[in-house]
Amino acid sequence: MSKPTTITSDQQTDTKYSNELVFWLNGKRVDIINPDPNIMLTDYLHEVGLTGTKVGCAQGGCGACTVMISYRRPGIGESVHKAVNACLRPLCALDGMMVTTTEGIGRVHDELDPTQYSIAKYNGTQCGFCTPGFVMNTHAYLQNNPEATEQEIEDIYGGNLCRCTGYRPILNGMRTLACDYNASKDCSQKCIIDPSFEIKCKESITEINLDQLPTSDVPARDLHFVGPGKEWFRPSSLEGVYSLKKE
Ligand code: FES
Ligand code: FES
């Protein structure tokens, strides 16, 4: 598969539609005029230097590219947080959403998110290629289910593969975030952390602020993007879909 080399395309779009994509990345607004519909979210993240999100298979099979997307449910306003495979997510399909990558929830030189801290503390990472995927999958799940049990957390990893650490240390780390975790019964081996460098951990899962996102009563915009060999339409109504089909 040949990879597109630029994020935007200079091809003309239809004036009935907006050609501006607006989304938020780790809390910062991103505006892109006429994004190329061939670009996947992983391409974009690496283009802007967010290399924490890895690409293992680029086919939706390994989970290394997992990030969290958040939005307000249309008409209701309830916050939705979902773990998605960024290698399958077109950049054009992010309008009005917040994307959170592993860089957006914690940093070693600042404070780690509990999901990042736990996987490291329990030796759940070796080459580290799968680690951001496990972290973001767990993080998104805990956003929606803060009272998750050990079993419920264990059950979410069907889409995350690890080729070198083995799953036991990963599960040992992640189960410490469960509401029924019993520290007194835990004999699993912990990592001996370098005493010359203190690594801090947040007290709870990083809160994702969706205040900047469009509120649920703001109607979605009709979007049209044109790139080499591909066009992207997002009609905002059923009438718009019918009219496109007719055209
Ligand atoms: Fe393997 Fe995305 S890179 S699922
Ligand atoms: Fe190497 Fe999981 S730590 S693939």
At 12 the pLDDT is 57
Confidence at residue 15, expressed as pLDDT on a 0 to 100 scale: 62
Low-confidence ranges of the chain (pLDDT < 50): 1-2
Residue 238 CA to residue 247 CA, distance in Å, equals 14
Residue of 40, 57, 161 to test ligand 1 pocket, by largest number of atoms within 8 Å of CB: 57
Asked whether the beta carbons of 103 and 52 are under 8 A apart, the reply is yes
* CA of 125, closest atom in ligand 2: 3
123 lines ligand 2 (CB under 6 A): no
Residue of 164, 168, 171, 172 with the most ligand 2 atoms within 8 Å of its CB, for mutation = 164
Tell me the pLDDT tens digit for each residue of 163-175: 998 899 999 999 9
> Which residues are near ligand 1 (CB < 6 Å)?
55-58, 60-65, 85, 87
Distance 183 CA to ligand 2 centre (A): 25
Residue nearest to atom 1 of ligand 2 (CA): 127
State residue 2's pLDDT score: 45
Q: How far apart are CA 99 and CA 91, in angstroms?
A: 11
The rounded Å distance from CA 120 to ligand 2 centre is 12
Ligand nearest the Cα of residue 134 is 2
Q: CA separation (Å) from 192 to 123, 125, 179, 189?
A: 9, 13, 25, 9
User: Which residue reads 């370098």 in tokens?
Assistant: 194
With beta carbons less than 8 A apart as the criterion, state whether 77 and 55 touch: no
Task: Kindly report the protein residue whose alpha carbon is nearest to atom 2 of ligand 2.
Answer: 162
Please report the pLDDT score of residue 13 as a whole number. 56
Phi, psi at residue 233, to the nearest 5°?
A: -110, 140
Please, which residues have CB within 8 angstroms of residue 207's CB and are 6 or more apart in sequence? Answer: none
